[in-house]
Chains A and B, each alone.
Chain A
C-alpha cells in the first residue's frame, strides 16, 4: 500500500482516539488540572467508586438493559417469525414500516413522543408514572426493530422446506418451530439480544425524556455530571468503560477469528 494512504489512515485514527487517550491519561492525574500531568494517582477512581450515585446509576443501567434486552428479544423474535409468515405483502410492508419508525426517527422525537404519552397517562390516573417502568417500555420499543432486523435475515436465509420437512415427519407446527426453525435463527436471536443490550445501555436521549427523578441511568448520570464542567472522576469512568469495551471487542474478534479459521480448515478438508 502506498505511504499516503497509510498516513491518511493514521491521521484519522489519531483524530478519533486522541481525545479518549488524553482523557484516560489525565484520569490518572493527581491534580484536577486539564493541561498539566502532575503525577500518577488513582484518587479519581477511588472517588468514583465511593460515589453512591454513580454506582447505583450503573446498576440501574444494567438492570434496565438486561430486562429490556430479554423482553425485546422475545417480542421481536416472535414478531419476526409472525411477519415472515404473513401472506399479504401490503400488511407486511405496513407493519415493517411502522416497526422501523423508532429506528429512522431522531431519538429526540421518539423520546418526547413517549414522554407525552406517559405524561398523558400520568394525568389520567392522577400521579406521575415516569420511572423504571416507563424507561423499560421505551427501551423495549426502540430495541424491537433491531432484534427484528437481526432475526429476519436468518429467517429469509432458511430453507422454507425445513419446517415443512419437520411437519412432514410428524411435528406439530409448534414443535417444528422449536425443533428446527429455532436452531436455524438462533445466531440472529443472539446477536439481536446483544445489540438490544448495548443499545439500551448506551441510550441517553430517549431515556432522558422518559426517566423521572426516581430512576437514574448511567448516561443520565454522566449528563448531569458533565454538563458544562469538568469532573475528573468522569475521566476515570470513561477510562473504565473504554477498557471494558476494548476487552470485549478483542475477545469477540478473537472468537470470530478462530471460528473463521475453523471453518476454512473444515472446508479445506472436504
Chain B
C-alpha cells in the first residue's frame, strides 16, 4: 500500500474569477480507500473530475505512476467513475450498460459475456441482464453503475457521492458492500462525500476539504481525535470549541479555569482553540465539578440525551445517559485525555458554540449540488 499511484501537485482551478481549488497537494497509494470529505462547494468533486480527466487544472500536475497525465483525455485513462446519479445509459439494458466499455475495447463477445456475468454476480444482480434500466430501483441502478465501472478493470475507481440518492438503510448496506468489493479486488477507491460518518467508517485515509483547500489528511482516527483546526473539529462529529490559552506544556486555560491536558509544543501563553467532544465529558454533582453550569435544553436521542449547558455564557453540548431536567445546576468533569488543543486558525471562533443550534440547516445546504 506504500507505492504512490496518483499524485496531485500544486493543483489550482479558477472558474469565472471564483477560486475552486487552491494549491492542492495530495498523493494516493495503490490499493488505498481514500475519501475526500467536505461541505458542498469545497472543491472535492472538482478534484475528482481532475483525476477523471473532465476538468483541466489551471496550474499544477497530475501524475499517474510518475507520468504526467494532464493532457491525456478521460477515455484513455485507466481510471473510471461512478457518477452521482449513476449516469446509466437509458437506451441500453443492464447487460449492454455493463458491456459498454468492454465493447469499446473490442473484446471478443464470449469474454464480454463472461465478464458481464462475473460483474453481475459481484454486485448481486444475477439474472438482471435483460432488465431495462428504468425498471430498476435506486439501489439496483447503483449496483449496475458499480458493475459497469468495474467491468473495464480500472486501476482507480472514482466515486462521486454514489450513495447520496439512497435512503438511510440502503446506504448502510451499500457502504459495507462497497468496502468489501474494494478489499476483495484491491482497487484504489477515491470516494467523495459530505457525510462524515460514511467517510470515517469506510476509508483508510480521509482528506478533509473546505474552501478549495485541504484542511487535514489522516486516518479516520487521527481526523477524529486530533483535528487540526476548528473547521475539522466541527465538521467531523460534534465539538465544543473554546477560546483558550496554553499556559505551559500539559497545562491549558479555558472557561476561566486551568486544566491538565496531554498537549505539548506550544509557546507559553499562546492563544489556542480547545476542543472537547460532547461524549468525553462526565456529568457530576456541582460540588465535584471542575466547571458548573445550568441545563438550558434537553433532547432525547435514543442512545443518550443531548443537553446544552450554559457555562459562563458559553453553551456546551454534552452527551449523557443520565436525565438532567432543564434548569438543573450540574457540574462537569473533563479528563486530560478529553482535551485536545489546536493552534488558532482562520476558523477560530466560527464553530463549536451551541448557542445557535443549527444542525438541520447545515444538512439542507449540504444536499445542494456541488458544481455548476
Q: Is B101 in contact with A169, judged by CB distance below 8 angstroms?
A: yes
How many interface residues does chain A have, given as a range?
20 to 34
B87 touches A161 (CB 8 A): yes
Q: Does B108 contact A (CB under 8 A)?
A: no
Within 8 A of B (CB), among A153-170: 159, 161-162, 164-170
A168 touching B90, Cβ below 8 Å = no
Say yes or no: A167 contacts B73, CB within 8 Å: yes
A119 at the A/B interface (Cβ < 8 Å)?
no
A225 at the interface (CB under 8 A from B): no
Which of chain A's residues has its CB closest to B74's CB? A167
Q: Does B251 contact A (CB under 8 A)?
A: no
Select one of A162, A164, A179 contacting B74, CB under 8 A: A164
Chain B's nearest CB lies how many Å from the CB of A131?
42
**Chain A residue nearest to B54 in the complex (CB):** A164
Is B9 an interface residue, CB under 8 A from the partner?
no
- A226 at interface, CB cutoff 8 A: no
**Segment from B77-85, B190-198, B345-353 that makes contact with A:** B77-85
The answer to whether A183 has its CB under 8 Å from any CB of chain B is yes
Summarize A's interface: helix, strand, loop or mixed.
Answer: helix
Query: How many A-B contacts if CB must be within 8 Å?
Result: 64
Distance of A266 Cα from B87 Cα, bound (Å): 22
B301 within 8 A of A: no
* Known contacts A175-B104, A270-B135, A168 near B91 by CB under 8 Å: no
Give the contacting residue for B80; candidates A161, A169, A183; CB below 8 A.
A169
A71 within 8 A of B: no
Q: How far apart are A156's CB and chain B's nearest CB, in angstroms? A: 13
Give chain B residues whose Cβ lies under 8 Å from the Cβ of A179.
Answer: 89, 100
With contact pairs A159-B85, A164-B54, A175-B104 given, residues A169 and B90 touching in the complex (Cβ less than 8 Å):
no
Q: Which of A161-189 contact B (CB under 8 A)?
A: 161-162, 164-173, 175-176, 179-180, 183-184
Cβ contact within 8 Å between B89 and A166: yes
- Among residues 145 to 159 in chain B, which have CB atoms less than 8 Å away from a CB atom of chain A? 148-149, 152
Asked if A170 and B101 make an inter-chain contact with CB atoms under 8 angstroms apart, the answer reads yes
Chain A residues whose C-beta falls within 8 Å of the C-beta of B79 in the assembled complex:
168
Min C-beta distance of B133 to chain A, whole Å: 12
Cα-based distance from A136 to B59 in the complex (angstroms): 50
Give the chain B neighbours of A168 by CB distance below 8 A. 52, 74-75, 79-81, 149
* 15 extra interface residue pairs, beta carbon distance < 8 Å, beyond A165-B83, A167-B74, A266-B135: A159-B87, A161-B83, A161-B85, A164-B54, A165-B88, A167-B75, A168-B74, A168-B75, A169-B149, A170-B152, A171-B104, A172-B73, A175-B104, A180-B91, A270-B135
In the assembly, what is the distance between CA of A131 and CA of B54, in Å? 49
Q: Does B130 contact A (CB under 8 A)?
A: no
Q: Are B87 and A165 in contact (CB under 8 A)?
A: yes
CB distance from B42 to the nearest CB of A (A): 20
Establish whether residues A161 and B152, one from each chain, have CB atoms under 8 Å apart when the complex forms. Answer: no
- Residues on the A chain within 8 Å of B88, using CB: 165
B105 interface residue (CB < 8 Å to A)? yes
Contacts of B75 in A (CB 8 A): 167-172, 176
Complex contact A164–B104 (CB within 8 A): no
- A166–B100 CB distance below 8 A: yes
Cα-based distance from A239 to B83 in the complex (angstroms): 56
Contact A170 B105 (CB under 8 A): yes
**What's the least CB distance linking B48 to chain A, in Å?**
11
B89 near A162 with CB under 8 A, answer yes
Q: Per-residue CB proximity of B54-81 to A under 8 Å, as 1/0?
A: 1000000000000000000111100111
By a CB distance below 8 angstroms, the chain B residues around A171 are 75, 104
CA distance A159 to B86 in the complex (A): 10
Contacts of A165 in B (CB 8 A): 81, 83, 87-89
Contact with A along B78-117 (1 / 0, CB 8 A): 0111011101111100000000110011000000000000
A166 and B90 CA atoms in complex are apart in Å by 12
- A260 and B258 CA atoms in complex are apart in Å by 74
What is the CA–CA distance of A55 and B100 in the complex, to the nearest angstrom? 51
Q: How far is the CA of A241 from the CA of B149 in the complex (A)?
A: 54
Whether A164 pairs with B90 at a CB distance below 8 angstroms is no
